[in-house]
Structure 1
Amino acid sequence: MNGLWYYVIAFLLIWTIAAFYKLYHPDSKNLEMSFPILLMLKTDRFKGFIDRVAKKAPRFWKWYMNVGIVICFISMALMLVLLIQSLGTVLKTPSVSILIPGVEVPGSPIFIPFISGFIALILLIIVHEFSHGILARVEGIDIKSMGLLLFVILPGAFVEPDEEEVEKASRLSKLRIYGAGAMANIVLALIALIIFATIANFAVPAVYDQSGVEITSVVNNGPAYGNLKEGMVISSINDHKVTNATSYSSAVYSLKPNTTAHITTDKGTYTFRLGENPNNKTLGYMGIRSQEHLVLKENIRNTYGNILPWGLLSLEDLFKWIYLINLSVGLFNLLPMKPLDGGLMLEELLSYKLSGENVKLITDYFTYFTLIVIVFSLVAGIFISL
């Protein structure tokens, strides 16, 4: 089933439950509904937890975010440079795309598996919002409300500090609070990267042998559609031997558009005409997704059986997506564009030396410029993929 249907089913189920709850509790202030765009469920359940974490080591949290502010502004500058550089290749290789776990998004070169991606998304939301709340409490600012939300089909969460108290706080306090969410995502990404690298470089080679590349999915109506199938193991491409991901990438990058490809698999040899890579018109395109085909070592199978060792690959995949999603979203959130955290941080930094009018002028400029580049890249990606 297409991953989008999971979100549609969940959307209908959640809104139905919310509608019945509101019907029987019409005076409830915990549930706000703006069908079909936004659903918010407010709760005080985790305020105590946030308070305890904040009070345990307030000095640590302040110094952690003092360093974090520097990292956030360096990341903001890096992201802005990359965004500007992407303008030169936006019509060939769009740099921005929407990522939804389990859904093939037009124009996106990346497909995120549903389960691993969804877990990574939930962790991203939790650490991001809780970090905003923890730093708000460290700075002595009350939390008015917090809870869960559903924006169209995408789940989310929110922590809402008291806006009047935030306005009265020092500029340094505001910067700590604004940068806390993205910084938490970056830290989680680094932790996940270390775990992923450990599993991939030490645990997996000790348990598995590499044997070609396995097709994980075939793009509908792509060049390989009707020829190659999910589960096939590729052993050669145009007489280039494929033994692992490195040799596979080398063979794929040698492919040219509108030429004939000869793909040898464990099910036979298949021949079809290549298309143009939607993200790079100079490369040939098969329209498949793949991963290394791993074979359980005989001594491991004899000791642990077949089921237990395969859980290792699931963990590897999970931590890979926790790393990639947290890093990409965390850095994206630092773009100098309001209402993103990066935009709020830029506004606060500029206010140290500039008048309110000049701060607004510069912030608006960065906001509109960044927004235009993002929208243009998204639209270009969709048209290129058609």
Structure 2
Amino acid sequence: MNISLYIFAIGFVIFWGLILAFRKKLEPKGFTVYPLFLMWKKSTRSLWFPRLASSKPFKIYEKIAMILGILAMIGGITMIYYVIFGLIFHPQSTTVRLEPIIPGVTISLSCLPYILLALGISVTLHELSHAVSATSNKINVKSGGFILLGIFPGAFVEPADEEFMTSSLPAKIKILAAGIAVNLILAGIFFPLAMFLPGYFSQGLVIEGVIPNSSAYNASIQAGDVILSVNGIRTNTFNSLTTALNQSTNYTIVLKAPNGSTIVKHAESTKHFLGVYVTYYFPPSVRPFLLFVTWMFIINFSLALFNAAPLIITDGGKIFTELLKKISSQNGEKMSMAIQAFLLMSLVYAIMLSISA
């Protein structure tokens, strides 16, 4: 465990220790406090942006959202089983994983501020879309608030229960799908930026880890070094590194050391495999923007797919239940809960496979 992870862990423990210590003072102000869970909730205005909610563009957006919500639901289910079957039958070639975000373990602590900022923006817009859609469908919003789960922020709005339950099926789906759709749209906006901007601004590939006894390990190449070129081929993207490695089995590698000096290493691999984990190396001036763009795509794509999947507590789960209730008013809800429980267990299994792969 490095020093920054120690500092983060100590700060995390102190923060939640203070929250729990002042629990009785926070609760009268609308807070609900449990270990690693903080929620602030209060009654809110009944109507949200009524002019926007009644506008023709928003009405069109709601119809599109219904389609996107169903497509995202199918996409979320497909993703879960794609990972499961891929890791069971083709573990070596399957690159898609479902790994939880654990600061200092599965992601670098340096990414955490950008993750939290992207998550805060994405969840707020998601819940705002629910609220405006509720107003659009003549349903009052009774309350709203914010959640902090560990270090991850969230937000929520609650339509009036009776009004929501007695509304039509299309109205319910519009309200539930509005949040899913905004995340899917944001993912679509940030996807091309996240795909093409990093390669454009990259000045090399920084090594995040070296596989023991690999070609890089035997050549004394270390984490923190930046690969500038291989056999004279500039390596500022993943594809350029793959191309350079595939053209030979003997490599002259130009590296930038953490102290800024340029060094040259020689390596050999008959399998065209260097044995390093790499990511883009950016100029300090553009790195914050590019990290934010990347995490805006990852967070919104993940929220869209998994919140749309029928997993009991998700918007997709609620949509799925309403659809089955329409098909079978007697057993629709029971059927929905059974199917969703199975899908939730499948998601847990996919995550376990991803971690152990």
Q: TM-score, normalised by structure 1?
A: 0.73
Question: Residue 194 of structure 2 contacts residue 294 of structure 2 at CA under 8 Å; is this kept in 1?
Answer: yes
Structure 1 residues 312 and 101: CA distance shift in structure 2, 3 A: farther
Question: Residue 53 of structure 2 contacts residue 132 of structure 2 at CA under 8 Å; is this kept in 1?
Answer: no
**Aligned position for 1:230:** 224
Structure 1 residues 42 and 25: CA distance shift in structure 2, 3 A: same
Q: Deviations over 1:148-184 (max 9, x none)?
A: 2222343222222222222122111111111121111
Paired residue type of 2:278: R
CA distance in 2, matches of 1:125, 1:65: 18
Alignment of 1:255-334 (within 5 A): 263-265=253-255, 266-269=262-265, 271=267, 286-291=275-280, 311-334=285-308
Determine helix, strand or coil for the equivalent of 1:51. Answer: coil
Equivalent of 2:73 in 73, 76, 100: 76
Give the alignment's Cα RMSD to 1 decimal: 3.8
1:12 corresponds to 2:14: yes
Determine helix, strand or coil for the equivalent of 1:290. Answer: strand
246-255 vs 334-343, which moves further: 246-255
**Aligned position for 2:101:** 100
- Deviation for aligned residue 1:103: 3.4
Determine helix, strand or coil for the equivalent of 2:84. Answer: helix
1:51 corresponds to 2:42: no
**Aligned position for 1:350:** 324
Structure 1 residues 347 and 218: CA distance shift in structure 2, 3 A: same
CA distance in 1, matches of 2:127, 2:245: 41
Equivalent of 1:379 in 348, 352, 355: 352
- Deviation for aligned residue 1:144: 2.8
Question: Residue 7 of structure 1 contacts residue 153 of structure 1 at CA under 8 Å; is this kept in 2?
Answer: no
Equivalent of 1:182 in 180, 183, 186: 180
Determine helix, strand or coil for the equivalent of 1:103. Answer: coil
Aligned residue pairs: how many? 340
**Aligned position for 2:242:** 249
**Aligned position for 2:258:** none
CA distance in 2, matches of 1:252, 1:360: 55
- Deviation for aligned residue 1:269: 0.9
Question: Residue 207 of structure 2 contacts residue 227 of structure 2 at CA under 8 Å; is this kept in 1?
Answer: no
Equivalent of 2:60 in 22, 41, 63: 63
Determine helix, strand or coil for the equivalent of 1:338. Answer: coil
CA distance in 1, matches of 2:127, 2:6: 25
CA distance in 1, matches of 2:102, 2:24: 32
Gaps of 5+ in 1: 275-281, 295-309
**Aligned position for 1:218:** 209
CA distance in 2, matches of 1:25, 1:325: 30
Paired residue type of 2:165: E
**Aligned position for 2:162:** 164
Q: Deviations over 1:313-349 (max 9, x none)?
A: 4323322221222112211211122221111111112
CA distance in 1, matches of 2:40, 2:83: 39
Question: Residue 218 of structure 1 contacts residue 288 of structure 1 at CA under 8 Å; is this kept in 2?
Answer: yes
CA distance in 1, matches of 2:192, 2:253: 35
CA distance in 2, matches of 1:254, 1:13: 53
Question: Residue 53 of structure 1 contacts residue 134 of structure 1 at CA under 8 Å; is this kept in 2?
Answer: yes
Determine helix, strand or coil for the equivalent of 1:311. Answer: coil
Q: Deviations over 1:39-60 (max 9, x none)?
A: 211245xx45x83524434243
Determine helix, strand or coil for the equivalent of 2:321. Answer: helix
CA distance in 2, matches of 1:163, 1:222: 61
Structure 1 residues 173 and 293: CA distance shift in structure 2, 3 A: closer
CA distance in 1, matches of 2:213, 2:105: 13
Gaps of 5+ in 2: 256-261
- Percent identity reads 22
